[in-house]
Structure 1
Amino acid sequence: MTRIALITGGNRGLGRAAALALAEDDVHVILTYRSHPDEAQAVVAQLTERGCSAAALHLDVQKPDSFAAFADELCDMLGRQWHRDRFDVLVNNAGFDGHTPFGQTDPTTMDELYMVHVKGPILLTELLAPLIADGGRVLFTSTGLTRYVANPVYSVYASMKGAIEVYTKYAATALGPRAITVNAIAPGATATDFAHGMIRDDPDYRAMITANHAFGRVGEPADVAGAVRTLTSPSAGWITAQRVEASGGQSL
């Protein structure tokens, strides 16, 4: 049977890379976007060119009140495009960085980080759980920063990711009877547009981080996407409730 994945924030960065990686396994993809619908449609076009059926839906994970309507849209799309009432893989990828230097943490930034990285993913996952096929996969996105301190300005961001790592274990327990695995992937420094593309575009900053990597380089989106592909594959059915770091051996 065709496997279908829902990837939040799939219009760019790690979400886009994950969509392209899953397409290599003939997984069809529904990606969400909060802004830049042109980017989302470009990813859909890329997936279609690779023989993958794909679609894009608008979703703002900061607005839980919109989740019920989103679920209705999702059900409608599953029926129209795939003649299914369930999907197989949920990748909670949508996110953003927020600088919170000690002593200068802004309450608004803190609230936004909580909504995007904790409240939104939890409520969305619980709402969509009945639509995930038995034997499916749920993957939360954490960060290597829950293990090591690379930049103190990410204190609250990393703390929110730490919270989702704990929730992963509880969700894995709840969904285990349905053979649905729940894990968290923790990327290390990766050359995306995260933090305004600092790792990707600032050679000095990149060189500083590279010095702490076992592999001698920072990650590329395809590196992390490969790990997503593995953890959401049918063969990963005995891996659950785990935090899996995909960092190339950063800060060992």
Structure 2
Amino acid sequence: MTKIALVTGGSRGIGRAIVLSLAQKGIDIVFTYKGNETAAAQVIYEVKNLNQKAKAFQLDTGNIRGFDAFINTLSQYLNDEYQKSNLDFLINNAGIGLYGGVADTTEETFDAVMNVNFKGVYFLTQKMLPLLNDGGSIVNVSSSLTRVCVPNVSVYASIKSAIETYTKYLANELGKRRITANVVAPGATATDFADGATKDNEERRKLTASTTALGRVGEPEDIGGVVAFLCSEEAKWVNAQRIEASGGAKL
């Protein structure tokens, strides 16, 4: 039976790696993107080259008023393409990073990070529950910054901590439906996130590598494979867990 996953923020970086890792496991893909339609089209092409189906929908995960229309569009696609209205996996990956010290962070910055990284995750998941098959999985993306402290990330890290607590409650409440809920917490990863410093700034990369047990920065594929594992039969007994994928950062 065909398995289907929804991945938010799937057109670039870690999201793209998650999409491709899932497709490599024989899972069909629906993913969202915020604005880069060209990048989304490229990911669809790559998934199809793996002999899996893929569909992309534009969605601002920080605007919950758009969720009802998205759910209707998603349901229509599933009915048209698969003659069913449900899917198996929800991966809440979309996120933004806006940084600043405790004394300097504005309410506007706080609200922007909250709306995408927590409020959007909470209410999109709520809307998706009727579409999620019993026995399915939810994977929420957090950060190693909930474990270690670095300058200027108090809002981002605190909200990711909320995601980790929320995930445990999801696991508890959805257990009767045999739906697992887990967190993957990436360490510093070479993507365009946060102005791409970990990807393009050689000084930053060397510093990160020097404080990581495995001696390098993370790559998106390092995270994608962990998420795909949590959507496999081998992980069906893993539930309510935080799995950090950081190469052993700041031990």
TM-score tier, shorter chain, comes to over 0.9
> Equivalent residue for 2:162?
163
Q: What TM-score comes out, normalization by structure 1 length?
A: 0.98
AA aligned to 1:177 is: K
Query: For 1:167, what is the secondary structure of its paired residue?
Result: helix
Deviation at 1:45? Answer: 1.0
Show the 5 A alignment for 1:68-87. Answer: 68-87=68-87
Structure 1 residue runs without a partner (length 5+): none
Deviation at 1:234? Answer: 2.0
Query: For 1:152, what is the secondary structure of its paired residue?
Result: coil
Deviation at 1:84? Answer: 2.0
Query: For 1:186, what is the secondary structure of its paired residue?
Result: strand
Deviating above 3 A after TM superposition, structure 1's stretches of 4 or more consecutive aligned residues are: none
Query: 2:151 & 2:82 partners in 1: Cα distance?
Result: 45
**Contact 1:102–1:152 under 8 Å retained in 2:** no
Query: 2:54 & 2:204 partners in 1: Cα distance?
Result: 36
> Equivalent residue for 1:107?
107
Query: 1:46 & 1:24 partners in 2: Cα distance?
Result: 10
**Contact 1:15–1:94 under 8 Å retained in 2:** yes
AA aligned to 1:218 is: V
AA aligned to 1:156 is: V
AA aligned to 2:189 is: T
Q: Deviations over 1:97-129 (max 9, x none)?
A: 111212110110100110011110000001101
Q: What TM-score comes out, normalization by structure 2 length?
A: 0.98
Show the 5 A alignment for 1:3-152. Answer: 3-149=3-149, 151-152=150-151
Deviation at 1:83? Answer: 1.9
**Contact 1:4–1:87 under 8 Å retained in 2:** yes
AA aligned to 1:65 is: R
Query: For 2:238, what is the secondary structure of its paired residue?
Result: coil
Q: Deviations over 1:142-199 (max 9, x none)?
A: 00000001x3111100000000100111111111101000011100011011111100
Q: Deviations over 1:131-152 (max 9, x none)?
A: 0011101011100000001x31
Deviation at 1:38? Answer: 1.2
**Contact 1:214–1:248 under 8 Å retained in 2:** yes
Query: For 1:170, what is the secondary structure of its paired residue?
Result: helix
Q: Deviations over 1:171-230 (max 9, x none)?
A: 111111010000111000110111111001011011011111110111100011111111
> Equivalent residue for 1:230?
229
Q: How many residues align?
A: 251
Query: 1:18 & 1:204 partners in 2: Cα distance?
Result: 27
Deviation at 1:30? Answer: 0.3
Query: 2:102 & 2:172 partners in 1: Cα distance?
Result: 35
User: Equivalent pairs: percent with the same residue?
Assistant: 43
Query: 1:102 & 1:60 partners in 2: Cα distance?
Result: 27
